[in-house]
């Protein structure tokens, strides 16, 4: 539906595609060791290719793996260009880059599910697992005793699992 709307010139649909897959594209680029401006270049390149080649996508339901494939090609192109600029980057090693897209997709799904968790569970999980905050710091921020933070996070993990089981993603 999203793809068809986009093909029909619906700008909002295109913005939704960019919004939905931006983090995904960055995550794949980072798995290739690309950060900062280079990851930004890949991001720009991927969505340019996606926009111009969207008409060639036969199965609109395969948008996500298609974008993943475009991202891998863009990342390899960037690494090859980098290898030409910097002799220390061995072009041969580029083909050895192994991507675990399942892992990235799982991380993305967890990230989305965290947003859906009721507070303060989502906040507690983010602070502990993403920001590496201690129980004490989390307890102070959330106004709960530090001694109960661990059990709160456990409860949040339980809710997170329920969300992920209910919605396995695309």
- C-alpha dist (Å) from residue 163 to 127, 130, 142, 149: 19, 19, 23, 21
User: Could you tell me the two tokens for 95?
Assistant: 């083909």
The residues in 105-134 that bind another protein, with binding defined as CB under 8 A, are 128-129, 132, 134
Alpha helices in 32-148 (DSSP H): 36-53, 63-85, 91-94, 101-116, 121-125, 135-142
Instruction: Give the nearer residue to another protein in terms of CB position, either 97 or 107.
Output: 107
Region of 35-43, 54-62, 103-111, 148-156 interacting with another protein (CB under 8 A): 148-156
Q: In Å, how far from its chain's centre is CA 30?
A: 10
Q: Does 158 bind another protein (CB under 8 A)?
A: yes
What is the sign, positive or negative, of the torsion defined by CA atoms of 30, 116, 67, 49? Answer: negative
Of the two residues 84 and 136, which places its CB atom closer to another protein in the complex?
A: 136
Nearest distance from C-beta of residue 144 to another protein, angstroms: 12
Q: Which stretch binds another protein (CB under 8 A): 15-23, 38-46, 99-107, 151-159?
A: 151-159
User: Which residues here bind another protein, judged by CB under 8 A?
Assistant: 128-129, 132, 134-137, 146-147, 149-151, 153-158, 161-162
């Amino acid at each position: 539906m999203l793809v068809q709307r986009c093909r029909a010139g619906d700008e909002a649909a295109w913005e939704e595609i960019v919004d939905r897959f931006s983090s995904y594209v960055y995550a794949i680029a980072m798995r290739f060791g690309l950060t900062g401006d280079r990851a930004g270049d890949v991001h720009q390149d991927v969505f340019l290719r996606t926009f111009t080649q969207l008409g060639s996508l036969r199965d609109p339901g395969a948008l996500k793996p298609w974008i993943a494939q475009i991202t891998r090609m863009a990342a390899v192109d960037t690494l090859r260009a980098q290898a030409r600029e910097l002799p220390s980057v061995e072009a041969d090693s580029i083909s050895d880059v192994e991507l675990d897209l399942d892992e990235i997709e799982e991380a993305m799904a967890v990230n989305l599910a965290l947003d859906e968790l009721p507070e303060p569970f989502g906040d507690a999980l983010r602070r502990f697992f993403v920001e590496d905050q201690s129980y004490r710091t989390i307890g102070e921020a959330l106004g709960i005793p530090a001694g109960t933070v661990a059990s709160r996070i456990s409860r949040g993990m339980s809710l997170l699992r329920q969300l992920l089981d209910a919605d396995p993603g695309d």
